Amino acid sequence: MTPPAPKPPRDVLDRLVRESLLNTDNLRAFLSRAVPALADQFLCERARLMDREFPVDDWRRREADLPFEIPYRCGNEERLALVCLLLEHQSDPDPLMPLRLLYFAVNYWDRQWRAWRAAEPPRPELKLNPVLPLVFYTGTTEWTQARTLAELLGEPAALHAFAPSWQPLFWNLADQPPEQLLESGDGWLQVLAVIRAQFAAAPEFEAIYSEVQRRLQGLSVQDRVRWYDLQRIVITWGQHRRPKAERQTLLAATLNAQADPGRRAEVEQMEKTIAEALIEEGEARGEARGEARGEARGEARGEARGEARGRLLQSRQYLRRQLTKKFKSLPEEIIHRIETTTDLDRLDACVDQIMDIQSLEELRL
């Protein structure tokens, strides 16, 4: 197999997967695979992302942490539950994942306990909301780090029996055959087939990539915003993860799958934006690595600038699409503020607000 191309900055790819799960349909699709017996009872359209509300210090959330508070149907009633979803990629799996998830859960319960104590008596009996701890692992091999809290404990082993019974559910993409993902009938799961096959031999990857492109066409009519976001994942993964020699073939497969001229123009522009980021990255990473030290310093500066620019463009585009999806149209003033914002943290904070705000006037940008 041809060795994969050098990896881009890790967060470029991770952010795409994280942002995709902010979409209600994508979140529902993931739960349907991870917890099929429970998925239908979660009202994902009313999910509320809570990551800006969790505390800090050395345990502050990573960009890949997605704690959702989601109503769950219990017969004729609804109860809130915390679906604590953490993304983990193959580069550096977190060996403390069970502890991290337990920390989220305990903090969530502590907030409920405090609110209960602050309420005026007579207070109802305290009943804490359940927590579903999930790890979405995209690595190509089996998860080899700790799965339970007890595995993190040292001696004396005789005391391990008293550890809390806490075992998150690990959903390993490597266990999902690409063929099953393609036949799932859901666009987000079909896109996962590209990620699943990212290190496959060229003919196999091209076949899966082309098939995903073909199957996404129906979604381009049903839900244009979702189609655009999923296309961005597919194209970026193909361009970033595959060798340079394959990129033109993948570009052709992308364009050939677009029956609508408007969609073809959109993906052409998308490909161009991603290609420009790759060119900047290649220049920064240094096709001239063996040259003078001063040039190497320049490459590092170029890499930082290219990465920052790419992230900024992606954040602006994503925020505009999600706001348009919720509010149908955006005033010129809002568009101008988005396009002139150079603070990535502010843009990310706005994305996190979308699920909670009811009008554009509430947007804190």
Q: Is residue 25 within 8 Å of 188, Cβ to Cβ?
A: yes
Say what the pLDDT of residue 5 is.
41
With respect to residue 342, please indicate whether it lies within any of the assigned structural domains: no
With respect to residue 124, please indicate whether it lies within any of the assigned structural domains: yes
Domain region containing 87? 1-175
Q: Is residue 246 within 8 Å of 202, Cβ to Cβ?
A: yes
**pTM confidence score:** 0.75
Local confidence pLDDT in tens for the 365 residues of the chain: 333 444 444 567 778 898 899 999 999 999 999 999 999 999 999 999 986 556 544 555 566 689 999 999 999 999 999 999 999 876 567 888 999 999 889 989 999 999 999 999 999 999 999 999 999 998 878 888 999 999 999 999 999 999 999 999 999 999 999 999 999 999 999 999 999 998 899 999 999 999 999 999 989 889 988 999 999 999 998 988 888 899 899 999 999 999 888 889 988 888 888 777 666 555 455 444 444 444 445 545 555 555 566 677 777 878 888 888 888 778 877 887 888 888 887 888 788 788 778 888 888 87
Helix (H) or strand (E) holding 273: helix 261-285
In the block, residue with structure tokens 């994305």: 351
With respect to residue 143, please indicate whether it lies within any of the assigned structural domains: yes
With respect to residue 42, please indicate whether it lies within any of the assigned structural domains: yes
Say what the pLDDT of residue 249 is.
94
What is the tally of structural domains in the chain? 1
With respect to residue 336, please indicate whether it lies within any of the assigned structural domains: no
Give the span between the Cα atoms of 260 and 254, in whole angstroms. Answer: 12
Q: Is residue 194 within 8 Å of 209, Cβ to Cβ?
A: yes
Burial of 193 by CB count in 10 Å (0-12 exposed, 13-18 middle, 19+ buried)?
Answer: buried
Say what the pLDDT of residue 360 is.
86
Q: How far is CA 184 from CA 44, 103, 189, 210, in A?
A: 19, 34, 7, 16
